[in-house]
Chain A
């Protein structure tokens, strides 16, 4: 399971609090050090990790605090709060509305898994009896349209694309219009991979977005990404209205902590995770249950609300 290893390490670190006879500065520092090391090994952005440490320290004032039990509880609750902040931007994800066209545009870095995930998502809705389809607005990557075509044909998902049109804006617009007319409910637009350093690619993304006016833009992030995630995610958000995040390739060894910084940088929740190359390797993601599971705790909500 995602971040499971990290969860174990954090739980162990938190347990060190229960074992300690007195809770003082030293115990707290020791615990924070362990937690931060675990987070860094999982690729969580170093600035977010430092912030977490500072925030926890800021809540705990040893001079003012009373008995040991209270201290433990306060420290644990402060750590939980910070961890939840990493994964939970506090906004509800966009929910497609049945019976009306929902245009969902995919964006992200090169090779992050957009095209594969587009098909997975279209298939996911199709299985639930939504009329879903795919528009291939990647005219850049060699074989991009063939990839969509083969994936969709296999899954019997209607698709739109072109071998000759070179302007992704034209394809996106035509495809979305056509499928809207035909009464499709989930219209997914796949786009080329891009990165913030190439301004022309970002302008193109904006142009596609302006042309199809998506109801939701999904930022797809690879679970293996390290410290470069944050700056990229932020740049995507600044250019277009990213509303959700999908983290892919979590079937491997990667803990996905780098990709988590996309949540903070885009203020968008994770809605699905990708767990393999096959069409049904897509799992819905729910923030709060995830955290409870991560830390092997049942009553985190209770802890946090205090």
Chain B
């Protein structure tokens, strides 16, 4: 008959059982927000582990304690441990008179080429000259897609505004050829012609398509880009986990290097299509521990943002 006081009187140690209802609710809530199911479970388990045995304050309820702890974990997961500062790194390699090379990879249709074009726009706004390497030699229209972007971007930033320099150029060898070879030629061409940055577009591929994953690994291994960005869409559900695990695994396993180059950062695209179901941001950063370098928020060149950790966590928790 004293049990009704338990919630109020502060001297009780939290047990797993006390937290169970609140945690189950939280788990379902996270899944509904599109966090991958096993990550939602792991997150709730870690909250339970953190809180077990803790003494609740007089006015704290189990539910709000669980909520606050989870909130902190989410902020921590999304907060980058390492900063990727592309502009700074570009200027650094400019000093060394070599182009800064970025490779974009990911599964089919997530927005690699479009967000490459957005990043290109941002770089030329910062007065850097960019060479786009058309290394998707498979998908119909892939080369023309990039050529169209190049034309648009040069029209927005004509040579007159940049001391007569053409700010963007496309390096392409059509379809059917070896992507790694084209990337290599492009990088050489960029070095010889004084480009500041090379953006390497690659074909979309399924994470367990071994021949295609080997080809990507080769491209990265032989060309040693400065940055490997994984492009993933915010729409993706549980597959986010499998995609990132297997891209990293392939890049490690198929490269016989002792220190293979795996994913350095993430571009999270189509963020404008998901309302508050922002869970993919958690799934992707939880799995890789790598930062979300950019968020794609639309289909025009300016729809490229930095991740707003607070806003994402707010959407997740509300």
Q: Nearest CB to that of A152 among chain B residues?
A: B140
Q: Is A226 touching B208 in the complex (CB atoms < 8 A)? A: no
User: Which chain A residues border B233 with CB–CB below 8 Å?
Assistant: 111
Chain B residues whose CB sits within 8 angstroms of the CB of A47 once the complex forms: 32
Interface positions, chain B 110-133, Cβ under 8 Å from A, are 110-111, 113-114, 117
Complex contact B142–A143 (CB within 8 A): yes
Q: Point out which of A46, A140, A141, A224 has the most chain B C-beta atoms below 10 A from its C-beta.
A: A224
Residue of A111, A198, A258 near B109 (CB, 8 A) is: A111
Query: B302 within 8 Å of A by Cβ?
Result: no
Complex interface bits, B233-258 against A, C-beta within 8 A gives 1, otherwise 0: 11111111011001000000000000
Partner of B235, one of A40, A147, A196, A225: A225
Q: Is B272 an interface residue (CB 8 A)?
A: yes
Q: What is the interface size of chain A, counting residues whose CB is below 8 A from a CB of the partner? A: 47
Interface string of A28-70 (1 = CB under 8 A from B): 0000000001001111001100000000000000000000000
Residues 69-115 of B contacting A (Cβ, < 8 Å): 107-111, 113-114
Rounded to whole angstroms, the CA-CA distance of A110 and B141 in the bound complex is 16
Contact A226–B34 (Cβ < 8 Å) = yes
Contact B238 A41 (CB under 8 A): yes
Contact of A253 among B32, B206, B272, B274 (CB under 8 A): B206
A227 and B32 contact, CB distance less than 8 A: yes
Q: Are A142 and B148 in contact (CB under 8 A)?
A: yes
For the complex, give the distance between the alpha carbons of A112 and B234 in Å. 13
Q: Is A111's CB under 8 angstroms from B111's CB?
A: yes
Interface majority SS (helix, strand, loop, mixed), chain A: loop
B110 close to A109 (CB less than 8 A): no
Complex CA distance for A109 and B32, rounded to whole angstroms? 20
In this assembly, does B221 line the interface, its C-beta being within 8 Å of a C-beta of chain A?
A: no
- Determine if A146 is an interface residue (Cβ-Cβ < 8 Å): yes
Query: Could you tell me the distance in whole angstroms from the C-beta of A292 to the nearest C-beta in chain B?
Result: 25
Using A111-B233, A226-B279, A231-B275 as known contacts, say yes or no to A277 and B37 having CB atoms under 8 A apart.
no
Q: For chain B, which range describes its interface: under 10, 10 to 19, 20 to 34, or 35 or more residues?
A: 35 or more
Choose one: A42, A229, A277; the contact of B108 (CB below 8 Å). Answer: A277
State A277–B299 Cα separation when bound (angstroms): 23
> Which residues of A have CB within 8 Å of B275?
197, 228, 231
Interface flag for A254 (CB, 8 Å): yes
Residues of B within 8 A of A40 (CB): 31, 37
Answer whether residue A204 sits at the interface, using C-beta atoms and an 8 A cutoff.
Answer: no
Q: Which of A133-147 contact B (CB under 8 A)?
A: 140-147
Q: Are B141 and A146 in contact, CB atoms less than 8 angstroms apart?
A: yes
Residues of the A chain whose Cβ atoms lie less than 8 Å from the Cβ of B146: 142-143
Of the residues B32, B33, B206, B280, contact of A249 by C-beta under 8 Å: B206
- Shortest beta-carbon distance from B206 to chain A in Å: 4
Q: Is the CB of A252 within 8 A of B107?
A: yes
Nearest Cβ in chain A — how far from B123, in angstroms?
A: 18
- Minimum CB–CB distance from B31 to chain A (whole Å) comes to 5
Does B139 sit within 8 A of A, measured CB to CB? Answer: yes
CA distance A8 to B209 in the complex (A): 23
Selected contact of B273 from candidates A46, A140, A197, A224, CB within 8 Å: A197
Q: Which residue of B lies closest to A111 (CB)?
A: B109
When the two chains form their complex, are residues A277 and B272 in contact, meaning their CB atoms are under 8 A apart?
A: no
- The residue that A251 contacts in the complex, of B144, B206, B235, with Cβ under 8 A, is B206
Q: What 10 A-B pairs are tightest by C-beta distance, nearest first?
A: A226-B237, A147-B141, A143-B145, A111-B109, A146-B144, A142-B148, A43-B237, A252-B206, A150-B140, A143-B144
29 pairs across A/B with beta carbons < 8 Å? A40-B37, A41-B38, A43-B239, A111-B109, A111-B233, A112-B109, A113-B109, A142-B114, A142-B145, A142-B146, A143-B141, A146-B140, A147-B142, A148-B140, A150-B140, A150-B141, A196-B273, A226-B279, A227-B31, A227-B32, A227-B277, A228-B34, A228-B273, A228-B275, A252-B207, A253-B207, A253-B208, A253-B246, A257-B237
